[in-house]
């Protein structure tokens, strides 16, 4: 069984994640968090709120960071999405397969056509022929030029095999386009592969409409598909009552920028944080919970002076990378990657993707983006709403030498309306996916190793090595046997601990079996009440990862847990 299949199986078996509406066959792109999953995800959100909002690390110059929170509505005035660009620009080109029994949907820019030619036949196309058509032999190293040349030759060379695949980038497409043994026998030697996107077929004058699923030439024409979920406000269904489920949480923060300024008395630089649901009608949700239609974001919009924005961009980039490491993502599978110029959004000065290599992919995938959005969003909302979104440096103006204006109030007002006193702040946006990080935590924690059973014999075990702060259950209280007063002591300890943490009381089955159950849900500590407890009021505390056991005083258990779970 593949690693990802094992992880998905464990998530269902141990109550981390279920398919939404499973008893009715499920619904693609939607997931439910079970008893263990909801605790894990809540712990992640609470850790983020504590570490980034209530107690953020000192700024780049050692200063305190000012942070406040918001909880904005999921449905907003549709004009918000016009201003942000989502109403028109938040669209993907979609193609649908028309074949009966298939009917698959794809993003058109994710469909790749991999054409296999006989190398000997390609080599027979002389440079003279190519030069007659193109004026050069550039086709040999340029796939688009090759197909342009082929389309213009009197006798075009058709591919011997054509395979359609769905992939993000060309390298993935090539790795997926594998010939079967029977297909490979059609070639004299190694086949020559030319791989191009469905989008490129018009440029090469060779229309292709092969479906990656059924491999029939049955794809329809690309059409624009808005990723926002639509809904109707009120009883009358009309375009006037059309609204959207928010596709991101950020715009609620920008729309409330002035409200936060006026009500919180914050001064630049400061951040506004929000945790909330967002919705995107993904054409092809996939990879378990990684790409879903309903997801939760943990997002900060950090407002700062324009001339200090790069300093803050670098600060948040480093803070966010270190946060993942601090919470247990310490392997080489985590990496920050600065986006190239061709990847950046049109408004972005710079963006760093913090990526994780999930078991379902050969390439690291985005956990979080830290984006320098400049003043784009505030400028857009100022333009579309007609409301002033600028920030005024009142303390700087109070200290300014106003004698240079000679008492001319008009000149003073003009000076106050410009830099350095009034301006649109720049924004740094660390935007993390709560669901994606939950999945990364699960993947990182999943471990198969060996542990001794009651007779000391090594046996296979599955253990979830969660960071203690994130573990759904912090400790399990286990009476060794259900007699001799042990259950009473264990129950009293359980009641004491559950006032502060999520702990479990487990008295069912052999002690080794109970340890394995707790290992599979990632409980970092198992506390056993045994015969010696009755004599000296000590208990055994077992470490999940090292399997080491030591005895501590019964009245010291709470303090021991508190120290182990303390945010550092």
Average pLDDT for 452-481: 89
Q: Alpha-carbon distance 470 to 171, whole Å?
A: 36
Q: Is the pLDDT of residue 253 over 50?
A: yes
Query: How much helix, strand and coil, in percent to the nearest 5, is found in the chain?
Result: 35, 25, 35
| 3-state helix/strand/coil string of 396-435 | HHHHCCHHHHCCCHHHHHHHHCCCCCEECCEEEEEEEEHH
Residue 567 is predicted with a pLDDT of: 63
Work out the angle at residue 136's Cα, subtended by the Cα atoms of residues 135 and 141, and round it to the nearest 5 degrees: 145
Between the CA of residue 424 and those of 162, 248, 322, 350, 394, what are the distances in Å? 53, 22, 30, 18, 14
What residue ranges do the domains of the chain occupy? Answer: 55-90+232-389+424-439, 94-225, 473-564
Q: Which residue has the higher pLDDT, 130 or 487?
A: 487
| Cβ neighbours of 211 (radius 10 Å) | 23
> Region 352-364: what's the mean pLDDT?
90
For residue 411, the model assigns a pLDDT of: 85
Residue 151: per-residue pLDDT: 56
Q: Which tens digit of pLDDT belongs to each residue from 326-347?
A: 998 887 889 999 888 777 777 7
Q: Using a CB cutoff of 8 Å and minimum separation of 24, what contacts does 202-205 make? A: 203/144, 203/148, 204/144, 204/147, 204/148, 204/151, 205/147, 205/148, 205/151, 205/152
Q: Is the pLDDT of residue 491 over 90?
A: yes
Task: Give the whole-angstrom CA distance, residue 50 versus residue 139.
Answer: 57
What's domain 473-564's superfamily in CATH? Answer: Anticodon-binding domain (3.40.50.800)
Name the residue with higher pLDDT: 307 or 96.
Answer: 307
pLDDT tens digits for range 295-325: 999 999 999 999 999 999 999 999 999 999 9
Give the model's confidence band at 204: pLDDT under 50 very low, under 70 low, under 90 confident, else very high: very low
Name the pTM for this structure. 0.81
Chosen CATH of 55-90+232-389+424-439 out of 3.40.50.2300, 3.30.930.10, 3.40.50.970, 1.20.120.530? 3.30.930.10
Q: What is the pLDDT of residue 314?
A: 94
pLDDT score of 157: 65
- Of the listed ranges 53-67, 153-167, 349-363, the least confidently predicted one is 153-167
Note the pLDDT tens digit of each residue in 368-395: 999 999 999 999 999 999 999 999 988 8
Bond into 269 cis (ω within 30): yes
């Amino acid at each position: 069984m593949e690693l990802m299949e094992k992880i998905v199986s464990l998530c269902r078996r141990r109550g981390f994640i279920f398919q939404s509406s499973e008893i009715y066959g499920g619904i693609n792109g939607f997931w439910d968090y079970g008893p263990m999953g909801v605790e894990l995800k809540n712990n992640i959100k609470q850790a983020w709120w504590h570490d980034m909002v209530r107690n953020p690390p000192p700024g780049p110059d050692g200063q305190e960071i000012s942070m406040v929170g918001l909880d904005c509505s999921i449905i907003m005035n549709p004009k918000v999405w016009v201003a942000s660009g989502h109403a028109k620009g938040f669209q993907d080109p979609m193609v649908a397969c028309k074949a009966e029994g298939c009917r698959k949907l794809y993003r058109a820019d994710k469909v790749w056509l991999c054409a296999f030619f006989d190398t000997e036949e390609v080599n027979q196309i002389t440079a003279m022929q190519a030069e007659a058509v193109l004026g050069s032999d550039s086709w040999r190293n340029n796939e688009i030029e090759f197909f342009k040349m082929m389309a213009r030759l009197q006798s075009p060379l058709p591919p011997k095999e054509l395979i359609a695949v769905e992939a993000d980038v060309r390298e993935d497409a090539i790795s997926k386009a594998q010939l079967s043994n029977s297909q490979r026998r059609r070639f004299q030697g190694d086949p020559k592969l030319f791989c191009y996107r469905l989008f490129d077929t018009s440029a090469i004058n060779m229309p292709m409409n092969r479906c990656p699923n059924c491999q029939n030439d049955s794809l329809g024409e690309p059409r624009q598909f808005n990723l926002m979920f639509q809904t109707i406000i009120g009883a009358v269904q009309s375009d006037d009552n059309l609204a959207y489920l928010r596709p991101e949480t950020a715009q609620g923060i920008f729309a409330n920028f002035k409200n936060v300024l006026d009500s919180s008395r914050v001064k630049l630089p400061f951040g506004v944080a929000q945790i909330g649901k967002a919705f995107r009608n993904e054409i092809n949700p996939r990879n378990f919970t990684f790409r879903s239609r309903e997801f939760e974001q943990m997002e900060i919009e950090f407002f700062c002076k324009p001339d200090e924005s790069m300093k803050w961009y670098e600060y948040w980039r480093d803070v966010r990378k270190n946060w993942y490491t601090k919470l247990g993502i310490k392997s080489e599978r985590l990496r920050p990657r600065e986006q190239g110029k061709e990847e950046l959004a049109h408004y972005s000065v710079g963006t760093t993707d913090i990526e994780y290599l999930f078991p379902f992919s050969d390439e690291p995938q985005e956990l979080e983006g830290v984006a320098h959005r400049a003043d784009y969003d505030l400028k857009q909302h100022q333009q579309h709403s007609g409301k002033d979104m600028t920030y005024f440096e009142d303390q700087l103006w109070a200290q300014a030498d106003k004698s240079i204006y000679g008492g001319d109030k008009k000149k003073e007002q003009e000076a106050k309306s410009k830099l350095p006193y009034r301006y649109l702040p720049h924004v740094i946006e660390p935007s993390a996916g709560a669901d994606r990080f939950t999945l990364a935590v699960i993947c990182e924690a999943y471990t198969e190793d060996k542990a001794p059973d009651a007779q000391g014999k090594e046996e296979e075990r599955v253990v979830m090595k969660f960071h203690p702060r994130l573990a759904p259950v912090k400790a399990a209280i286990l009476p060794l046997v259900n007699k001799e007063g042990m259950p009473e002591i264990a129950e009293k300890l359980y009641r004491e601990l559950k006032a502060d943490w999520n702990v479990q009381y487990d008295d069912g089955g052999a002690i080794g079996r109970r340890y394995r159950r707790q290992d599979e849900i990632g409980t970092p500590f198992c506390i056993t009440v045994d015969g010696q407890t009755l004599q000296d009021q000590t208990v055994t505390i077992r470490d999940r990862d090292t399997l080491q056991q030591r005895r501590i005083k019964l009245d010291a258990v709470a303090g021991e847990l508190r120290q182990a779970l303390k945010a550092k």
